[in-house]
Amino acid sequence: MQLGPVALRSLLSDPEWRESPVTDGATPLVVVDLSAGAAPLEALGARHVPAPGAAPWRVLVGCADAAPDGVPTDLFDVLLCSEPASSPWVATSDLDGALATIARTCAAAPAAASVLAQVLRLNERLPMAAGTVVESLAYSTLLSGPEFAAWLSSSPRRAHRPAAEPVVVGTDEATGTVTVTLNRPEVRNAYDSATRDALIDVLRPLAELPDPPPVRLEGRGPSFCSGGDLSQFGTTPDPVRGHAVRTSRAPGLLLRALRATARVHGPCVGAGIELPAFCPVVQAAPDATFRLPEVPMGLIPGAGGTASILARIGRHRTAYLALSSVALAAEEALAWGLVDAVADWPGRG
């Protein structure tokens, strides 16, 4: 559905339209053409439309050739344009292609797309720790939903490949820096429960020290982290326990408390960017790329990304990454603020 600002204003006042993704199974996506000029945009002024979030099951995407002035950006979940523009806009050379990709995601996983938008709207206004709780509650809900069940049933079964030592730790005697290295290179450091628990076992005692040492997070092999270990998807005993584990054993918040530095390389997928984004400093190798693949699976990011990535690049660009599953290159990630430097380092990988 593509609308102009005046038509959107009218529909936002219609409760049946706002609820139709739930009652009728309609796609939540609404594309709004914002390139018509300043006068039509006045229809979206605060006096004319409900507050942002008044249509929680709708995903509002605004688009224009060039980002116009006067757009109420809070009303939208994603803002796309063809010409260079600053945040919260995303500039793309293929506007139609970007819109088509988002449309496919919203059609394939409408509930997950809507929940993603809801969580990002909330987390924009919450402290990061509280945002991880909101994310976990939503993630647990989607785990028990039909979209994830459909994805799981259509996916090949994978055998779990446990590692004897999923995380290794070393200390630089000269600087005192503790290097924590993901150590499952045979599966591109896929993030499984053993890796999470090993990170907690290392980071929690460091965070409890009165004067913690510098901490650096790295990954062995061709990729820093390829995301959640798909062999464990759908194996949580129940959604409530999953929520309890995610919120009581959260490595991302410990990395932030320790003011850790992350060094990332290769394809960084899902948790492979969600966890580093908690760190105050993220250094990316030139070959690093960043992708959020969860929404087409019927889920949202589950390692804290709707809080950590949002804090770095804002909710509009976070929503774009999650709804498009695009692989963001290192230099663009630097321009967005997702990483803080692009440079290689000796002995990486």
pLDDT digits (tens, 9 = 90+) for 105-150: 999 999 999 999 999 999 999 999 999 999 999 999 999 999 999 9
Residue 237 pLDDT greater than 50, yes or no: yes
The pLDDT score that the predictor gives to residue 126 is 96
Instruction: Work out the mean pLDDT of the chain and round it to a whole number.
Output: 93
User: Angle CA(50)–CA(55)–CA(61) in degrees, nearest 5?
Assistant: 100
Helix (H, G, I), strand (E, B) or coil at 111: helix
Residue 36 pLDDT greater than 70, yes or no: no
- What confidence tens digit (pLDDT) does each residue in 302-326 have? 999 999 999 999 999 999 999 999 9
Structural tokens at position 204? 């929690």
Instruction: Lowest mean pLDDT of 70-74, 91-95, 286-290, name the range.
Output: 70-74
Instruction: Lowest mean pLDDT of 41-45, 104-108, 198-202, name the range.
Output: 41-45
User: Angle CA(207)–CA(211)–CA(214) in degrees, nearest 5?
Assistant: 70
Q: Please write down the long-range contacts of 50-57, taking CB distance under 8 Å and 24 or more positions apart.
A: 50/12, 50/13, 52/121, 53/118, 53/121, 54/12, 54/18, 55/12, 55/17, 55/18, 56/18, 56/114, 56/117, 56/118, 57/18, 57/19, 57/21, 57/22, 57/28, 57/114
Would you place residue 38 in the very low, low, confident or very high pLDDT band (cuts 50, 70, 90)?
A: very low
Structural tokens at position 348? 């990486």
CA distance 162 to 164: 7
Q: Where are the chain's structural domains?
A: 2-108, 130-342
Residues 130-342: name the CATH superfamily.
Answer: 2-enoyl-CoA Hydratase; Chain A, domain 1 (3.90.226.10)
Would you place residue 81 in the very low, low, confident or very high pLDDT band (cuts 50, 70, 90)?
A: very high
CA distance 188 to 19: 42
Residue 52 pLDDT greater than 60, yes or no: no
Whole-prediction pTM: 0.95
Report residue 305: phi and psi, to 5°. Answer: -65, -30
How many residues are recorded in the chain? Answer: 349
- What confidence tens digit (pLDDT) does each residue in 251-289 have? 999 999 999 999 999 999 999 999 999 999 999 999 999
Could you tell me which residues are beta bridge partners of residue 323? none
Residue 214 DSSP code? P
- Which residue, among 55, 73, 150, has the nearest Cα to 81 in the 3D structure? 73
CB 348 within 8 A of CB 222: no
Share of the chain above pLDDT 90, in %: 82
